[in-house]
Every structure is written in structure tokens, then in C-alpha cells.
Amino acid sequence: MLACARVVYSEAQTDRLVELVPSIEALASLRESGFSLMPQPPIAMTFLEVRSLEATLFRVRNARASEWYECWGFASSELTDVGWVAIRHVAPGDLTLNKPWSEQNKLLGLNEAVSSLAELTWFVTTLFKVRRTKLFTATCVRTASLFSDECHIHFGHLDGERLDIGFTRDAYHHDILGLAILRKF
């Protein structure tokens, strides 16, 4: 199965994904809760590997220099998973907006977690390439990926076009800063 350019699932991987497809009830619950569902990549990938598949979708701050995050551990060590992942859309009015990290995490439901940057990047770039749907155009979302002890990485379409990666102190809150919530199957 071809997911997008340079990403191909083997027959065994496709069979495994078929086995792991959530139940009709779970799919209905995801839809009602504002989630979209898609398979993770066929092999575990870091954020930098995922970004390299669709580099033109990302904002470039300085064309002659590497991006600030390329030397940080989260970019090259955190990996995507296998199976299915669902990410919740965060739109204006979302309950996770305008809250510090500690308050946002209290809003996680049963079987929900905060997405890593690698998983979120895979999801958002693949959704765009396959369905031409952009997530987080009016918001940014914090991920579980750490920049430092008190700063998490955030992600969004800050200019409405290119994806932007930044970091925000955990105590900070803003009306466009939400939480990247996922469920895995």
C-alpha cells in the first residue's frame, strides 16, 4: 500500500493494520470527539526523517543555516510508533486553549496522551498530502517533546501556509495555544 511518495507498506504491514482497525463504535467515538485517524508510518521515524519527506511544507527561517531544532535530542531521537494513531483537531474555542501545560494535561481523557513532535508531524503532513486538509491553521499545539525542563515544543501553521516549530514555557498560556491530543490503536 502506497501512503505517499517514498512511503510504502508491505503486505504483512497492511495485514497487521487491517487487524488493528478500531471497531465501528470506536471510529464513531473518534469522529464525535473531533479526531482523525490514520496509520503510523511503516517504519519508526524521527521528526527529522518525517520532515525530510515533505520539507517544502515547513517554514524556513534562514535558507543558508540549519533550523534551530536540528541539534536537539527530540528531533533525532523520538520516534513514531506502529499501528493507528488518531489526532484531535484543535480549533478556536477548544478547551485546551489559553491554559498552561499543567492545566491542559488535566483535560486528557481516558486512553488519551499528548503527541510527540514526530507523531504529530507524520500525521499532519500525511493528512495534507493525502486529503489536502491542513490542521492547526488558526492555532498551535504543544507536544510531549521537550526543549528544556520547563518548555515543550509547539507546532502549527502560524502564517497559515508553512508549518512552524517553536517552544513555549510550560507556565505560558495563549488563546491560540492548545494541546496535541492523540489516541493509539
Q: What are the tens digits of pLDDT across the range 47-83?
A: 999 999 988 888 776 555 557 788 788 889 999 998 9
Tens-digit pLDDT profile for residues 143-178: 999 988 889 999 887 666 788 888 999 999 999 999
Q: What is the pTM of this model?
A: 0.88
How many folded domains does the chain comprise? 1
Residue span of the structural domain in which 153 resides: 2-184
| Rounded CA separation 33/93 (Å) | 14
- 53-64 as b/e, with b when 16 or more CB fall inside 10 Å? bbeebbeeeeee
Q: What is the DSSP string of 71-116?
A: GSHHHHH-B--SSEEEEE---TT-TTTT--HHHHHTT--TT-EEPP
